[in-house]
Every structure is written in C-alpha cells, then in structure tokens.
Amino acid sequence: MIREGFSRQELLATTITLSNYHRIQATEDLEDAAEYIYRTLKELKSFDAKILKYPYSASYGNLNPVVGWWVRDAEIRCLKPKEELLHSFRVSRTLVVAHSPGGEVEAEVTYVGLGDRAKYYEGLNVNGKAVLVTGNTYLAYREACRRGATAVLFYKEDAPYNAVPYLSLFLSPEEIKWAKALALSVSRKTVDELRHNLINGDKVVVKARVDAGYTNDAQINVVTAKLGDSPSEIHVFAHYCHAGGMVNDNASSAALLIELCKVLNEAIDRGKLTLPKKHSIRLLWYPEYYGSTAYLTHNKEEIAFGVNLDMVGEKQEITNSTLCYVRPPPSLFHPHEALLYYELRKALSKASYTSPKKLIGIRFDTLTYEVGSDHDIYIAFGIPAVMINQWPDTYYHTDLDTIDKFDPDTSILIGSAVGASMYRASTNEVAKDLIISYIFEYIGSETHWVSDEIRSLRINYIYDKLSKKLTTYFDKINIAENLIPTETPLNKAEDSGKRQKMYTYIGPSGIIDLRTIIKSLSEDELDNILRNKNYVRTIIQGIIPMLLKSSKTIEQLRYEIIGELGVSVESTELERIVETLLKTKLIIEV
C-alpha cells in the first residue's frame, strides 16, 4: 500500500528541486533548502512539522563552531603557457572549496603532492604562489597558508578524470583570521595538463576569482515531522546538505523522506492507516553531523530506534555501488533491525526460476558498523541506529553526482520498506520468530569473513550481547541457551584488568571529530590516523567513545573491538591509538 502511494514523477521533481540548492553547511542556501522542506511538510495535516534552529557559532559535542559563509561565483583560468578557462562555478558548483575566502589571485603554480605535512614543502618556496595538492583538505590548506600561498588547488586521485571534487574546510570564526588563500577544487584532467607543462619546464600561471565571504549569524536548521503522540519515538532521518547539483549525496534520500511523509499522510487522511500508538514516528532532515548532534544534545525524548538514509536509490550499473545495510554495533542491537532488514529484502526481491525463495534484484549486502554519517551520532548517544547506504559510488563527492545516476524506482522500493517496517514497529510487537531468524543470519554474516583465530570469540561475543539485549525486550526468549562457554578470551582479558592500566572516555557525547584531534598531534601520529587502515577511523571516532564510557584496559578494549567490529586489531596498534587520544584529553588514564 505504501509503495503504491509513491509518485515517481513527484519524487524526481522533489529530488531535482532540492539538489538545485547549493547546500553547503553554514550558508543561506542551506537554510533556504530547509525552508523548502518545511513549507512542504507543514501542508501535511497528520504531521507536526517544525523547523528548529541552532547557531553554528556554538560547539556541539566534539564538533567545532563553523563560520557563516556565502558564495556567488568563481572561475579559474590558465594564463601561461596558454590562456584557457579551466573551470567555472556556473558549470561546477564544487569548484569553490566550501568556506574558502573570496578574492582574486594571479599566481605561478607549484606542484606539492600531498601537501598536508611540513615535510612536503622542504626546499620549496610557495610564498605568493598557487599550490597544487591532493592530501587532507584542512591540513593541506593550513600548511599552504602558513607558507604564504595565495591559492590552493585541490584534486583527488580517486575521482573520475573529468570530475571536480566536492571538498570542505569547515573553518571556525577564529580560523578565518589566517585563512587568506583561495581554495579551489580541480579535476585530474586539469592537473595532468598543468603538471605536463611543469614537467616540460614551462612556467604555469593561473588566475582565480572567487566571489565569496563570511557571515556571523549562520543557523543549523533541523526540520522535523512527527507522526503520533507517543513519547517513545522511532527516528528516520537523512542529511540534506552538500553542494548544488549533487543528487545521490544526499538530495535523493532527503527527497525520499519528503515523499514518504506525503504517502503516510494521505494513507491516514483516507483512513487506510491509523496514527501509531506504540511509538511515534519522527522524520528528520539534518545538516550532516552538526544537525544531529545539536538536536540530540538539546532534545531528550525517548528514542527507541533510528534509521539513517544516505545515498539510497542509485543506478548501480552507472555508479558501481552496492546497497548496504549497515548495522549498529552488537551491543546496541534492537529487534526493529530484524523487521527493517526483512522488509527491505522483500521489497527488493524478484521471482526466481523454480525456488520458492525470491532473488534480490540489485546488489545488496550487510555491513558491520562503520562511521561516516548521522547514524554515528545516534550510536554515540547510545541509541540503536541502522544506515541504508549505496557504496562505493564512482561519482561520490564530485560534480558528476547528477540526476542521471539516480534511480527513482529503487528509491521508492527502499522508501516503502522503511515506511512499512517502521509503521509496523510503531504499532505492533516484532514477531519473536522473525527476530530469531534474523539473529542466526546476523551471526553468519557477521562472522563468516573474519579471521579463523577470532571467529569463535566474535560468535560468542555477539550471542552474549544479543541474548542480554533480548531479555530487555521480551520476558522469555531463548536463542542459544548454554552456547556461551564459561571462559572465553574476553573473560581472561577482564581478569587481567586487575593488573593493568585502565582508560576511560571523558569527552562530550558524540563522535570524535578528526579535526578536534589533529591539531595536537605530530606528523607521524597524523599519518597513523589518516593513512592507516580504514577501520582505524571507525575505532577512533565511534567505537572508543562508546566502549570507554566504562573504564577498560588495553586488552579489554581490544577484545571488545574484536567483538564489535570483527577486526583483529593488535595490542601495539591499539596502544598507539590510545596514546594519541590521551594527548587530546578526551580519554584519561584511571
């Protein structure tokens, strides 16, 4: 019924309209996008729609304040060895790195490489020049400004050849005092042309113009639409920020939530559905991380479960992505996971040849918890939250993330599954047999890929966590009585804690923002974080704040990370991570 209520044409129109806003954080255009969402929702009489405002000038959790910003136009031209237009803001809204200062610069180009450490500038004089870099955006910009560069030209080695990447600085009001260089993003094609001339010994000169500036009163606009009166809530949310023209990240999901509200409103208006009683359903549109952190900091309602939609509904044959069901850590398991998972599988399934089991018609997989979107904030606040996401995406964070890569039909299937499962969860108990079925599939999918030496530990860890969680939701449910052995490596780690140093997290609720910690680290420590295995970021930003709410030794922490993520992190590697975080004073030795 919910699927039939969607209009393909209206979803396309809403997605295009929303993507036309240049939705950079701390800008008027992002606020205008929020007003557009709110105007649409307030017409739906079954929903209580609100727009909440929080200043970007304040800190939320570990997130720094962000200066207000505006941009109107920009271009970059090559003057020597031959004159040509390289990129313009009219064609690529991603040309101007978000929060770049404005101005006009004519400068000789110097290639620096990564450019995000002092060592890359050894023997180079970049004063008054335009530097070409590909490293961490904030660090490379800071290093270039320290050395008097007048422009910083960024590119990404993993971006499509003709794509102009989307990058952000997220400068604070204090940081704009030293942020003098123009920051622009260029394609690898442009980089190849400029470097070819440099290699040939030619002097390369560019002229860049950026019509941009700063403001003092930017607001974080969070739009909410609540269905029902129960104090207990289920949250379904999407971030609506990012550059103008970008669709799959994440105008697509934000538009899908708008259309889902319309569908539910019409179904209730026509008497096909009643208002939910067990849980209210609250849909939310956030500026990524900042909106969710500000909202959860200031609003204390009882939240049972969260669903994050980020980059859903892609044409997989073009973007080369897979639809991912990203679970929360096992210690935050919730029965609603099972209902959402099976509704999603059912919506995406098509008939097979002779088997009674239907096949999923697109690439679909499950993932253990990983950081990267607003579900992180819910998990950091101790709220179970799932992310539905398409990854990897060839055109991610570039100006080529356009409407031709969006699949409204797949988006509607996902939206109908989310709407149906969360409505069912808000009105009835989830069937126990469905949960037990999900748990056995969960354990298989979470442990078949781990190394042989940790598989037994993780199986037992997951059973232990899920069994304890289920007893809080049901009077009696048995998934594997007697399966947990009396002594596991985790038990031994707990015993050894009596003789070892212990650590605890004392920072504010929310993920650990990398910007917060990189300011106090050495170059080697930065390399360990930024150039290391991908899971290190998840451990630092999401898992450690969650696990170290109670004091633990390195070995206790190590075994719980193995249990939560399924990665065999070595004790020495974890010690380096902990030593790094001790310097930030977000964790302390106790």
For 305-355, the pLDDT digits (tens) are 999 999 999 999 999 999 999 999 999 999 999 999 999 999 999 888 888
Q: What is the pLDDT of residue 484?
A: 46
> What DSSP string runs through 194-213?
HHHHHHTT---EEEEEEEEE
DSSP state of 97: P
Nearest Cα to Cα of residue 180 among 102, 242, 106? 102
Task: Give the CA-trace dihedral at 358, 361, 363, 369, to 10 degrees.
Answer: -60
Q: What is the pLDDT of residue 429?
A: 86
Q: How many CA atoms lie within 13 A of 411 on its CB side?
A: 34
Distance CA 575, CA 171 (A): 31
Residue that is written with structure tokens 């797949």 in the block: 410
Contact 280, 234 (CB under 8 A): yes
Contact 183, 102 (CB under 8 A): no
Q: What is the pLDDT of residue 85?
A: 98
pLDDT in tens, 57-69: 999 999 999 999 9
The bridge status of strand 302-310 relative to strand 385-391 is parallel
The percentage of residues in the chain with a pLDDT greater than 70, rounded to a whole number, is 95
Radius of gyration, CA atoms only, the chain:
25
Out of 63-77, 179-193, 270-284, 463-477, least confident range: 463-477
Inter-helix orientation angle 408-427/336-348, to 10°: 150
Instruction: Spell out the residues 6+ positions from residue 296 whose beta carbon is closer than 8 angstroms to its own.
Output: 377, 378, 381, 383, 509, 510
Q: What is the pLDDT of residue 487?
A: 46
**Residue 316 to residues 8, 259, 367, 417, Cα–Cα distance (Å):** 18, 22, 18, 19
Contact 543, 368 (CB under 8 A): no
Contact 541, 565 (CB under 8 A): no
Statement: residue 495 has pLDDT above 60: no
Contact 325, 375 (CB under 8 A): no
User: What residue type is 3 in one-letter code?
Assistant: R
Out of 181-190, 275-284, 456-465, least confident range: 456-465
Inter-helix orientation angle 554-565/489-496, to 10°: 150
pLDDT in tens, 356-380: 889 999 999 999 999 999 999 999 9
DSSP H helical ranges for 320-451: 336-348, 375-380, 408-427, 432-447
Task: Give the CA-trace dihedral at 359, 363, 366, 371, to 10 degrees.
Answer: -160
Q: What is the pLDDT of residue 517?
A: 77
Distance CA 42, CA 397 (A): 31
Contact 479, 466 (CB under 8 A): yes
pLDDT class of 530 with cuts at 50, 70, 90? low
pLDDT class of 102 with cuts at 50, 70, 90? very high
Distance CA 358, CA 273 (A): 28
Instruction: Please indicate whether residue 35 or residue 353 has the higher confidence score (pLDDT).
Output: 35
Q: What is the pLDDT of residue 477?
A: 62
Q: What is the pLDDT of residue 480?
A: 52
Contact 64, 134 (CB under 8 A): no
Q: Which domains does the chain show, CATH number per domain?
A: 2-62+219-430 (3.40.630.10), 68-215 (3.50.30.30), 485-589 (no CATH)
Neighbours of 161 (CB within 10 A): 10
The bridge status of strand 182-185 relative to strand 84-88 is unpaired
Q: What is the pLDDT of residue 352?
A: 80
Nearest Cα to Cα of residue 301 among 220, 240, 228? 228
Contact 259, 14 (CB under 8 A): yes
Contact 337, 327 (CB under 8 A): yes
Neighbours of 227 (CB within 10 A): 26
pLDDT in tens, 114-171: 999 999 999 999 999 999 999 999 999 999 999 999 999 999 999 999 999 999 999 9
Contact 504, 573 (CB under 8 A): no
Q: What is the pLDDT of residue 145?
A: 98
104: three-class secondary structure by DSSP = strand
Distance CA 425, CA 427 (A): 6
The percentage of residues in the chain with a pLDDT greater than 90, rounded to a whole number, is 83
Over residues 478-489, the mean pLDDT reads: 49
Out of 6-20, 48-62, 67-81, 567-581, least confident range: 567-581
Distance CA 526, CA 514 (A): 10
